[in-house]
Chains A and B, each alone.
Chain A
Amino acid sequence: MSAVPAEQETVESLAEAVNVASDTIDQYLTFIMDNEEYGVDILSVKEIRNWDSATPIPKAPSHVRGVINLRGTIIPIIDLRQCFGMKAIEYGPLTVVLVLQVNAPDRAYREVGIVVDAVSDVYSLEADQIKPAPQMSDKVNANYIRGLANIKGEMVILLEINHLLGQSDLSDLSEVRDVLKQVEKAVH
């Protein structure tokens, strides 16, 4: 965002400039999983921390790793790899947990940690750089994907985490897997 010389600008155009900036440029934090790059809206990322052991929840599906104590709050940890139907791997020194603030559509906001292979970069993307998600079969919910962005020839899948992790039941995310598969197919 370029600084606007305030003296030469009228108030209206200044406001306009600010508006334009906030409307069209969003910043995304991207991370790597299985050599694939994914992005989330940076405003939803609360913190990035190293993987530490979590207390498992009885009878929870394998992608729910358990709950951790984040300064007195109990937060569930979701393994995104398993959510996306990828092969589970051993957690290494690069494995990180992104703590996300999710504004769920049908409930008050919640905080969820996701385990990813490694954090990659932060990109500022204008609205016209983001392409809509490819056409998918009617069966799946396309809301999970905000869009696709081509950065230096690589495709980044931007996730809509409010839909992805805002569901009231986090133990069944099989639909996400189907969406991702179709997106992959369309991209490659």
Chain B
Amino acid sequence: MTIELSQFFQVFFEESFEGLDVMESGLLSLDPENIDNEEINSIFRAAHSIKGGSATFGFSSVADFTHVMETLLDEVRSGSRSISQDTVDLFLQSVDCLRELLQGLQAEEEVDTTRAVELRGQFEEILGVAPGAETTGEPAAGPQSAGWHIVFNPCEDMLQTGNEPVRMFFQLAELGQMTVRTDISRLPSFSGMTLENCYFSWEIDLIGPAIAKSSIDEVFEWVVDDCDIIITPLAAEHSVTVDAPAATSVPVETQADIPVPAAATSIDEPATETGLASAKDAAPAVAKTGAPKKNESGSIRVDIEKIDTLINMVGELVITQSMLGQIGADFTFDKIGKLQEGLQDLERNVQVLHESVMQIRMLPISFTFNRFPRMVRDLSRQLGKKIELVVKGEQTELDKTVMEKIGDPLVHLLRNSLDHGIEKPEVRVAKGKPETGIVSLNAFHQGGNIIIEITDDGNGLPRDKILKKAQANGIVGPDAHLTDEQIHDLIFQPGFSTAEVVSDVSGRGVGMDVVRRNIQELGGHVSVKSKEGQGSTFSISLPLTLAILDGQLVRVGKQVYIFPLVSIIESLSVDMKQVSTVAGACDLLRLREDYIPIIPLYDAFGIEPDSRNLENSLIVIVESEGVKVGLVVDELQAQQQVVIKSLETNYQSVEGISGATILGDGTVSLILDIAGIVKMAQGIGINDLSSGQQAA
């Protein structure tokens, strides 16, 4: 019988990555001076299940490597070895290395094991083991012996774990010629027998050329915890004599007269490895947290509680439906009250159902935050600074898609705070600040948004330096009067970096503008507050989900379009005195020292408006990537949340349209893609104006 193992690969990888995260966070909180047993145990269990899993799936590069780690961890765990900071570092490096190996395997790429081999050498040095020995599990006799003698002595309850010896024997029989002798000496008297227990043990001679020991190990993989196995190579002359009775004896022949002593004392090597902690212990530790995966994965782990709420709601819905059905079956007008009641129930149910379905996509932000302690630790060492990371609100929930995309901008902001924000210890002391700088990450809900704050108590933004740099780059005019806030905002401009030394960490001037753009793509925005000398706070506001959008319904002619509310600056009625006409290009609206190009939406989309007269028409000013345009529309209607549907599923992408939604009356309304419209506008000749707009 063969089981297709590859179907479990995805689960294995997910669990392994989770295990690595457990190891990493465990190692980070490990204090070498004062070892917490619980911590070491959880690290050990995680390593152990990664090893077990990878061995099962035949990823020997991972299994061998984890084995050495595990051996060292076990010595630490049992107290026979102390651990130093260097060892912790070594472990952390190995976690990285394992992650790379696993990622390579997951992507089915050729994996580079040089780093693993190198690290393994270091481990072996610490362990005092000669490299290569003991780790491969291959005894000196080598895989090429004439055959194997196996003593298989299972525990009484082996059958209860679902392991069937006959099946294993079938598998062994596939490897070569097999002779099995059964020892029934343990068989109790008939009255003392329990039906589910296994009282037999077996002696097996497996004869055949080139049977690898690993393939035998594989057969017993699942039972090593529940039995004693001795596998010894057969002596060459032995194999000849055994050849005679040669029955490939499956079904098993019972020879009661050859009692085999129960060999409980000497356990073979693979049994030792796995015997240290049974795989059952290891599983729950791994299941606790999820993995922050960079690539968008196809599966999601959902709290059973959320599913239960969902099922409850569907139950309620069914009840309401049958109630309404009854009313509808023989409707009379005196039932109108009941009908309304039922409809109200329905509305409430649907609303709750909607919320609970949305909840399924929500994950605690700790998935993203978890990777930061390690990063801060590594970076602060590299930069020679003392930094403490404080994480708050890691249970705040966020849509999975948003979370996957916010990781990189957060990393960037955090690196910035570490590199530019926090000063070197000596500088801090000179300023009268505590030597250790504090960077805090905080997440919380506010209205329909999630706010993520990154605060440091470092240097703050150098106001004058930023202003000077901006003037030198021509981003602002030489005599512009700007508030502190506006100046701070300048760091999000493209090509802006005030770091005097371009360091490895940050300061290449590509960054803050990318951060802002990424966040805007998610429908959020980022701002900064800072006090020179006292620190700065970056605050990111994100929508809870990408599936719903706050929209402004806008009518043009007979069509209703949806503007994303976040991109609307203001809307106003046109006074012709403010409009200047440029020959060969579009009209410009002068608004508080800004010249904003006017785009009639009816022209851009080719529809018939109420009126083409610009006088007194309504203009909605929208902004995308710092460029403002004014869109001429006929009427502003309600503001409402809309569910975003894709146009591309059944049609194709359309310029200037980001998606569609279904309005209350069942009709389809298109959602405008403001960035796309701005680009369209630039196509019709406002290129030069957008730069002039900033200088003005």
Contact = CB atoms under 8 A, between A and B. Distances in A.
Interface stretch (A54-62, A80-88, A114-122, A174-182): A54-62
B265 interface: no
Contacts of A59: 605-606, 654-655
B667 to A, nearest CB: 6
Interface string A68-90: 11001111100000000000000
Nearest to B670: A55
A169 interface: yes
B576 interface: no
B559 interface: yes
Contacts, number: 69
B643 to A, nearest CB: 9
Contacts of B668: 54-55, 66-69, 74
B669 A58 contact: no
A140 B647 CA distance: 29
A116 to B, nearest CB: 18
Contacts of A56: 559, 607
A67 B650 CA distance: 10
Q: Is the interface on chain A under 10, 10 to 19, 20 to 34, or 35 or more residues?
A: 20 to 34
B604 A76 contact: no
Given A55-B668, A58-B605, A74-B660, A67 B652 contact: no
Given A67-B668, A74-B645, A57 B650 contact: no
Given A76-B651, A169-B652, A57 B657 contact: yes
A171 B654 CA distance: 10
B165 interface: no
A67 B651 contact: yes
A112 interface: yes
Contacts of A112: 650-651
Given A55-B559, A69-B667, A170 B652 contact: yes
A55 to B, nearest CB: 4
Nearest to A67: B668
B662 interface: yes
Contacts of B667: 53, 55, 69
A168 interface: yes
A125 B646 CA distance: 38
A54 B662 CA distance: 12
Interface in B602-646: 604-607, 645-646
Interface string A153-186: 0000000000000001111000000000000000
A143 B656 CA distance: 33
A59 B646 CA distance: 18
A53 B160 CA distance: 66
Nearest to B602: A58
A168 B649 CA distance: 11
Contacts of B649: 73-74, 110
Interface in A29-62: 53-60
B650 A74 contact: yes
Contacts of B647: 57, 67, 74
Contacts of B604: 58
A171 B669 contact: no
Contacts of A110: 649-651
Contacts of A54: 668
B298 interface: no
A180 B650 CA distance: 24
Q: Tell me which of A60, A68, A69, A170 has the highest count of chain B C-beta atoms within 10 A of its own C-beta.
A: A69
A55 B646 contact: no
A146 B186 CA distance: 75
A112 B651 CA distance: 8
Nearest to A110: B650
A57 B647 CA distance: 10
A171 B652 contact: yes
A110 B652 CA distance: 10
B192 interface: no
A69 B666 contact: yes
A111 B655 contact: no
B650 A111 contact: yes
A75 B662 contact: no
Given A55-B668, A58-B607, A74-B646, A170 B662 contact: no
Q: Tell me which of B605, B647, B651, B652 has the highest count of chain A C-beta atoms within 10 A of its own C-beta.
A: B651
Contacts of B655: 58-59
Given A55-B667, A59-B606, A74-B647, A69 B662 contact: yes
A53 to B, nearest CB: 8
Nearest to B660: A74
Contact of B657 (A58, A73, A169, A171): A58
A55 B650 contact: no
A68 B646 CA distance: 13
Nearest to B556: A58
B606 A67 contact: no
A68 B669 CA distance: 9
A7 to B, nearest CB: 37
Contact of B652 (A68, A69, A75, A168): A168
Contact of A72 (B607, B650, B656, B662): B662
A59 B660 CA distance: 16
Contacts of B669: 55
Q: Tell me which of B645, B646, B650 has the highest count of chain A C-beta atoms within 10 A of its own C-beta.
A: B650
Contacts of A69: 662, 666-668
B607 A67 contact: no
A95 to B, nearest CB: 19
Q: Tell me which of A57, A72, A112, A168 has the highest count of chain B C-beta atoms within 10 A of its own C-beta.
A: A57
Contacts of A75: 650-651
Contact of B670 (A57, A68, A171): A57
A66 B669 CA distance: 11
A58 B652 contact: no
B656 A58 contact: yes
A156 to B, nearest CB: 27
Given A67-B668, A68-B668, A170 B654 contact: no
B499 to A, nearest CB: 45
Contacts of B656: 58
B590 to A, nearest CB: 28
A58 B650 contact: no
Interface in B283-308: none
Interface string A130-166: 0000000000000000000000000000000000000
Interface in B651-683: 651-652, 654-657, 660, 662, 666-670
A68 B652 CA distance: 14
Contacts of B654: 57-60
Interface of B: 559, 604-607, 645-647, 649-652, 654-657, 660, 662, 666-670
Interface of A: 53-60, 66-69, 72-76, 110-112, 168-171
19 contacts: A55-B660, A57-B670, A58-B605, A58-B654, A58-B655, A58-B670, A59-B605, A67-B668, A68-B668, A72-B645, A73-B649, A73-B650, A74-B662, A75-B651, A76-B651, A110-B649, A111-B650, A112-B650, A169-B652
Given A55-B559, A110-B649, A170-B652, 11 more contacts: A56-B559, A57-B657, A58-B655, A60-B654, A67-B660, A74-B647, A74-B650, A74-B662, A111-B650, A112-B650, A170-B651
Q: Closest 8 A-B residue pairs measured CB to CB?
A: A58-B605, A76-B651, A55-B668, A110-B650, A69-B662, A74-B660, A69-B668, A74-B645
